[in-house]
Chain A
Amino acid sequence: MSSALGGRFLPLDMVFSEDEKFFLLAHSCSLKIYSAKTSLQVREFSLDSKPSEVIVCFKLDPLDSSKVYIGTSASTICFVDWTTGKLVKSWQLLNIRTIQCLAVCVDEKREDGEAHGIIYVGGSGSKDSSTIIQRVKLSLSVRLIEDRVYVVPKPSPVGCMQVLDQGNVVTAIAGNTLIIGNKNTEEEDSSVKKPWGVFRHYPMSFHLTCMDAYLPGEPDIINHKGGGSQWGSGRGANQLGDVVVGDNLGALHLFHNVLRVEGVPKGSPVISKMHWHRSRVQAVKWALDGKYIISGGSETVLVIWQLGTGFKQFLPHLGATIQNIAISPRGSSYGIGFADNSVMVLSTTEFKPTSSVTGIQSRVFHLEKGTEYPRFTCVMHPTLPNRLLLASPSSQTDLYSSASSLQTFDISSTRQIYKQTLTRSNITSANQGPDEYKIKEPDLPHLAITKDGKWLASIDEWKPPKKKSLYSNEDGRSSQEDDSDQSEVSLKFWKWGEKSLSWELATIVKSPHPSFGGAGPEEVLDLVAAPKAHLFATLAGDGSVRLWKPKAQARDGARLRREDSEITVWSCRKVIKFSKGKRGQQILAQNLLSGMSPQKAWWGSVAFSEDNSVIAAAVPNSLGDDSAIYLADSSSGAIAHFLSGLQVGKATEIAILERYLVILGTSKLLVWNMVNGTVQWEFNLRTLLSVNNPVTHLAVDYLSQTFAITISQRDAPSPKIFVFEAPHPTPVHVQRFECGYQIMALLGTDTGKGYVALDNQARVCCLSPILTRPVQRTPIEGKEEEEQEAPVVAEEDEPTIGTLSGAYLSTTAPTMSAEDHMDLDYAKDDGVVDHVVSREALENILDSTPSYAIGSLEHTFDQVLQLFAKAPLLNDGDDGDFGGVEEEGGPQNRSGDEEDDNGEDAMEV
């Protein structure tokens, strides 16, 4: 188990080093230092503390720019030298339970030699639930001194706080109130001078989201990155400063002249309201000269307000919601934090990105009761190690944003390789319908990649925005039907372009599973790639599996040009109909059980066997309370076997590992021995983790011949990963996860590195087969692992890859006699299974001689024919109808198919 990689950047303003060569970003438990030049991580400082303690705020120490203060949720202040990554000192605050924000006062004079720094802390008080702002004097030797400065009247958290001008002015926002405190003012009616002056309140109509204050002449104070207290007392005492706040509805309010060093300006301030943003203003900052305001929000537009003229400059199409804006100390660049876990540094002059850092852009959320589990779509690249391909939404935290683009992420270096949009996308444009509902982008619910990494298939799904139904008590079925009527589903095939280093679209199939009756496309429930061929299978709500294969077509007139002389078109080659499908079953259910409400959920999962010969699909049975599993021959499309009554509940995922069919349902984990036709073993999930309705994931690692499952639930203590070998019910390994995280995806790497788990904090863990050894940098040690993996494989004492089909269907494999008979009986019983010739036998014939040495084609054909003809001879001379099937032209077709297969094999090798 490796330590977690990746993760989510906290929505905190990035901090630039004084020379702008580095910038600092924070994950929930670590502070990362990146070089501005290379965008690479230089250093990292991790909090080694309880997992529940997270970084809340961090600010550069103005006195010593190599130090940074970090405030945590457990009310600890860490003083860290970021140039070395060492903790200098940490203090525990006593009066504050949780730090909400920190503000460092630049030039407040040290009162004595002991004091090391003075920090203003806003947070919730430890004694009561009130929100307080206090001044903390830190020192390296003595205990810290806390002075309560101010108690926020309403217990709303302090959203943002700044301290200006030697601690004279404190500005903060809490809830919908702007608070401005001035030390040098006195209450007009009381003669008692309070030590912290008068705090003024400016309640606004709406919740305030961001704030920035500007006191002219002190640009470096504003941004907390200044170099010291060069601003003496020579400054004019009646210096006036402005504050800008942004609210929930998208308006910026500019309070003119509310800050004043000496005293409070008379009268009510002039407040300008600037409303451009359509929704909540996420970040606002003053430019260093105070002439501009920079703001950003979910419109993905950086707005630069020129205050003097009312002109606005826009930097649109930044790709994701802007969450934070920071301005570098010299004003040469803006640091922008986005909601899709990326950070960009833009130069202020030409708006060119100078560096950017992108984390894993999976969804981040905290599960709450009643929320639907979002689906994480990701696959590992089969050939390139450590490449994680995932569908990334435009905003990590927004559960309702659709994942519409494909991010390829290198989990070893934690860098994004590239990002590509696979569906039509409209993140950056106005996406509100007339009734204020959001128009979503198509979602990418399924991705699959062929084992050679050349082809990628993706499903995108678009549903019309849900309108507020006028009649809420209308029965759910009709509204569901309406939904599917208007939704759009398309299947896209992408070819890896070696030159362009991106996925090139080869084929779009609109509505891959058109529903009968023309009622719109059926929802595609699963998409898998066959392990050994260029073959994809889709399972949809109509209860059928479609197999998709490519076909090369010569392009007209393209022969003259050498390149791209042929294009590949994917098309459906086979439809295997399993059940009546969603609608059919609904109708059936209605007819049969008129009293019962028709089932609403429909699920499905499909899996290929390792050698493509068998395809397994799990769909709900006719009652909808259990899963029915169908096994079919992938080449002929005939249904070979049908399992039901297994009581696995809703089958979330199925997989075929050698001869075992692994079914992970909501109630059970079941391993079915396909050869014996018996249940090998089963586990009630409750025995593994006592939770209701768990969220489960299943992954298979063919290399180690193991599979892994995770079970987690929102209120479960901690999720676990169990690694099993198919024949034995005892888990090979159980990996416990830290509390509070949910594993959202589990993948087998197929490159020998075991499993990759993605959690709900956008972090990736590698679970590698070497269970004893902690692996820090998995990719580098890939080779060793593979070697060390061998014993594990050997232990299994099971037939190696490729024998499944032989074991299951072939008559030629000598080692499998028992199963052979089983199988043949099985085949006879059904009377459907075609005679299958083992691949080895064919290979012997076809590949025995190099192609240049092939003699006559007739000879080869004879040999092949012989091979096929052998089967009935072995079959105890039984029934003729079997042979009759063959005579109808089966052999030719078959051999042709096999040759196709062989060709592909050769290509793969």
Chain B
Amino acid sequence: MTHISLHRCRFVDFPPSQITALAFSHPSAPTSPHPPPKNLRLAIGRANGSIEIWNPLSGVWAYESTLAGGKDRSIEGLTWVQDHDSHGRGLLRLFSIGYSSVVTEWDLATGRPRTHTNCNGGVIWSIAAQPRLHSSETVNREEGQEACAQKIAVGMQDGALAILSTVGGKGALSYVKTLMRAGTSKSRVLSIVWQNRHMVVAGMADSTIRVWDIRSGRAVSRLSLNKDRGRDVLVWAVQALPNGDLVSADSRGEVCFWDGDKYALKQRIKGHQGDCLTLEVGGINGDTVISGGVDMKTILYKHIGAGRKWGQVALRRFHKHDVRAMAAYECGKFSVIASGGGVDMTPIIIPLRQFLDEAHLEIPALPQSPIVTSVPESRLIMSWWEQEVKIWRIQELGYDENKGDELYLFPGEEEGRGRKLLSRIVLANDEYITSASISSPIPQNGGHLLAVSTIAEVKLFLLRPPRASSSSASLRVSKITIPDSLRLEVPEDEDDPDDDEMEEDIDLANEGARLVRISPDRRWLSVVTPDSRVLIVKLAVEPPADPKSKATVIFESSVFELPRQDRPETAPRALPLPTTDTPGKRQLKRLAHRIDEGDLETYPRTISHHLFSSTSDLFAVSDLSGYLDTYILTNSTIPTWKLNPKNTLLPRLNSPLSALTFRPSLPFPSPSSTSSTANPEDRLILITSKENHILELHLTTGALSDWSRRNPPTHLPLDFRTLKSHATGTFFETSQWEAKQRLWIWSANWLWMFDLLKDLPEGKPRAEATRGALGSGAGHKRVMTGGLVVSGPTVNPPPPAPTKKTITSGAVTDSEWEGEGYEDDEGASRAIILANTQKKRSKSGTKSAFWRSNRYKNMLGFLPVGCREEVLIKGEGWKDGQLLEAMEMVVIERPMWDVKMPPKFCKDAGSSARGGM
């Protein structure tokens, strides 16, 4: 029996950043018969300079990686360019702008900026890429490369437009010319779009839209908007319809439709109460326009019939704040708009063609990779974001004789009760933290090791507990210098023995890392470099000899680079055109006629997860294309890591992993110890992002485990498989006292528990067909009462009870398993000795093998804290000498209502709106 005390924390003040730009890597192809290209990505630019890369994956919307930003950086515009390739497999390149005169090209594989190109002008306000050359268009030989490559137009603060050429492949961006300035210096170029390959249309801040022909460099036309009460109208967005017509959105809240030939106003529709900030075009023939504005509304316009005009069709309020950026992508059935609330940090995926029929998908504003971790032994919680690391201690629960069987927080000051901020480390460098890892406590009160990585650096700190004499509770932080020249030992390759141990030094501290981790036994530090090499270095941590001295950390002289297994090209489907292929790159091509696939080079091999087993003798990494590499510590005299010999047997997963964990061996007398005596903890549990499959693999044999055999993914509860938000983390609950193997999986909005000692009931295949079916790529089909239900809001869960920032520890008892409600969190510091679940079990028969809760919203973490202990219970209703296992968990939430937002522009909005309107 277990008693879980739950600390419900809302003090982690992670600041989500505003979304400023959104871009899909491919242009829409609504009439295409193909499914969306495999290399389709969505880039989300945030105001803190980070860019998140998402893989739509036909509606799965898997988070892949973050191109970390830095201090005082911002993303103001994003655009993708594909290098010209006659077979459509040119490199996909991502460009961004941000409050400077520089256009940045990003290297997705390393997460670093590849090049910066200064446009020699003012601050760039807008960016747009030239439409790709259509396959039918022929290019004269002499123009060649130059004509084929997509150009980029940027609009400056002073009203000038510059044309940049992307010709030359990776990293090459060259200035071509500045278009003749047409307006005054006041006319900022707020938005820019290519009407076709020659015409650039720019929405300016002086109530005009101007059209340039880049061949002549002259302004061709000037489309004037009426001034709004004497003030200049700001044209926040322009878009071109497939038939050449233009659409503009402006600060009057109007959407204007312009004739594409005569550049004359055709129609204007006032839909927004405030500024209309963004605009997207969609539909089979471009018959749909969607706009978003500061009044939080998203308005859908449709072209009504031939020869008739546009009409405002529907209005919905997805966001809770400004709608600042939108990006549409359509390919065949797949038809979505990614809508980023500007100040509202939540990206929302809206079905485009099925705007009225399907639900939208809201992606939590929280990071998809965990940014909080805990050290249960020391009751520490560590969080990291941007440039700072914060470490808290969660106070213990006390037992008050007077209050009966309940556990209480020790009384303390009201604010910050139950927790203590022990340390706040702010890194001096500009880059944001990509990963951090804290070690288990060093014996003899030696403190903790903390490894922090940015994209440029790896830093190691020693956190020592405060002196016993000092009154302050904060940790003493001291930096551990990483030796700047460590020998890099590249694994010897049997294939070329002549490469005999080339001595190479590596400056580990300045290598930068995507991920760092200190192994549970503090002996290894693993570093995944930005270009996804796996480095591992041995640490020798000496506990402090006496209370006065501090622990010493000595680096082993050599850094091992762990080899990654070369994955084959998609060999069975050998492509006829391997000319531009580079090794290590996989070509994904299902239909030979696809010409817009694009190429991401080594980006799909980017490592997204890595993990030590709890015994620190197994190590696993997984990459974005679903491959696993596992390593085994050889127990020779000099421990070295070797690629798991069974690695080749490990399957490739259907999608990138969303979480993975090792299944700890049973400390309890395990009945199955016969089979895996050598390495009891070799079972790796994987959770995929597509359909949330849970797989368990024996690393030593490379085979699926017994549990996984018995419980194939189709046996997983349908509700779990159709969860739209992906698992963020896991927690494995075991017990020293009884047979217990529970896997807790959590994401920002849900918490599931699977009891691995039990088998899942068989799923019903019928239901899968109905609900699991993906629609256009956003939410599922709405439940409809009839053919045409125009209204009817989607049900959003109500916000959690506004318990303020204090730590509140409610209690989860096992009784929650049964779906019973328990005492509300309002009751603050209270923990309840659980009811005797044993009785219940006998009553209600066998418990189901899983349990779930949607109680917690915007979870940053569901982490253990404190040591498990055994409590001897006496008293009424308890058998004498009955043991109770006590455990404490922390639920860390970041409620959106607690995030400070600037005041809303539209005060009146919301009062009359009901439901989905």
Contact = CB atoms under 8 A, between A and B. Distances in A.
A815 B716 CA distance: 107
Given A251-B917, A271-B313, A271-B356, A309 B269 contact: yes
Interface string B769-796: 0000000000000000111111110000
Interface stretch (B303-311, B510-518, B818-826): B303-311
B267 A257 contact: no
A307 interface: yes
Interface string B302-346: 101100110111110000000000000000000000000000000
**For A203, A270, A310, which residue has the most chain B Cβ atoms within 10 angstroms?**
A310
Contacts of B790: 204-205, 251, 253, 271, 273
Nearest to B316: A273
Contacts of A307: 311
A308 interface: yes
A205 B917 contact: no
**For B305, B309, B311, B313, which residue has the most chain A Cβ atoms within 10 angstroms?**
B311
A273 B302 CA distance: 12
A311 B311 CA distance: 12
A203 B311 contact: no
Given A205-B792, A257-B305, A270-B302, A310 B786 contact: no
B732 to A, nearest CB: 44
Interface range on chain A (Cβ under 8 Å from partner): 20 to 34
Contacts of B476: none
Given A254-B311, A274-B312, A275-B917, A205 B270 contact: no
Contact of A272 (B267, B312, B788, B914): B312
B282 interface: no
Interface in B557-583: none
Interface string A262-284: 00000010111111101000000
B680 interface: no
B313 to A, nearest CB: 4
A249 B269 CA distance: 24
Contacts of A308: 267, 269, 309
B912 interface: yes
A270 B789 contact: no
A249 B790 CA distance: 12
B315 A309 contact: no
Contact of B271 (A251, A257, A310): A310
A206 interface: yes
A438 interface: no
Given A271-B356, A272-B312, A310-B312, A201 B787 contact: yes
A13 to B, nearest CB: 25
Contacts of B305: 240, 256-257
B268 interface: yes
A311 B253 CA distance: 11
Contacts of B267: 308-309
Contacts, number: 81
Nearest to B357: A268
B787 A270 contact: no
Contacts of B356: 271
A205 B912 contact: no
Interface string A168-209: 000000000000000000000000000000000111111000
Contact of B787 (A202, A249, A253): A202
Contacts of A257: 304-305, 308
B268 A309 contact: yes
Interface in B251-278: 267-271
A201 B308 CA distance: 25
Given A275-B917, A309-B268, A270 B304 contact: yes
B786 A204 contact: yes
Contacts of A271: 313-314, 356, 788, 790
Contacts of A201: 786-787
A559 to B, nearest CB: 52
Contact of A204 (B270, B304, B314, B789): B789
B313 A206 contact: no
Contacts of B786: 201-204
Contacts of B271: 310
Contacts of B912: 275-276, 278
A272 B268 contact: no
Given A308-B269, A308-B309, A202 B788 contact: yes
A274 B271 CA distance: 10
Interface in B879-917: 912-914, 917
A268 B790 CA distance: 12
Contacts of B315: 273, 275
A203 B313 contact: no
Interface string A149-166: 000000000000000000
A268 B304 contact: no
A203 B787 contact: yes
A276 B911 CA distance: 11
Interface in A112-156: none
A268 B305 CA distance: 12
A256 B304 contact: yes
A203 B917 contact: no
Contacts of A311: 270
Nearest to A269: B788
Contacts of A272: 302, 311-314
B267 to A, nearest CB: 6
A274 B917 CA distance: 9
Given A249-B914, A273-B917, A310 B787 contact: no
Nearest to B312: A310
Contacts of B914: 249
Interface in B333-371: 356
Given A251-B917, A307-B311, A205 B785 contact: yes
Contact of A206 (B304, B314, B788, B791): B791
Nearest to B256: A309
A257 B268 CA distance: 21
A547 to B, nearest CB: 48
Interface in B627-677: none
B269 A310 contact: yes
B793 to A, nearest CB: 10
B852 to A, nearest CB: 30
Contacts of A274: 312
**For B270, B308, B309, B312, which residue has the most chain A Cβ atoms within 10 angstroms?**
B312
A205 B313 CA distance: 17
A466 to B, nearest CB: 21
Nearest to B787: A203
Nearest to B911: A430
B520 to A, nearest CB: 52
A273 B913 CA distance: 13
A75 to B, nearest CB: 31
Nearest to B789: A205
Given A251-B917, A311-B270, A203 B788 contact: yes
Interface in A301-342: 307-311
A308 B356 CA distance: 21
Contacts of B313: 270-273
Contacts of B269: 308-310
B895 to A, nearest CB: 22
18 contacts: A202-B788, A203-B789, A204-B789, A205-B785, A205-B789, A205-B790, A240-B305, A247-B791, A253-B790, A256-B305, A256-B308, A256-B311, A257-B308, A273-B790, A273-B917, A275-B315, A275-B912, A278-B912
Given A204-B791, A240-B308, A273-B315, 13 more contacts: A202-B787, A202-B788, A205-B785, A205-B791, A247-B791, A251-B791, A253-B790, A256-B302, A256-B305, A257-B305, A270-B311, A273-B314, A309-B267
Shortest Cβ-Cβ A-B pairs, 5 listed: A203-B786, A310-B269, A256-B304, A272-B313, A310-B270
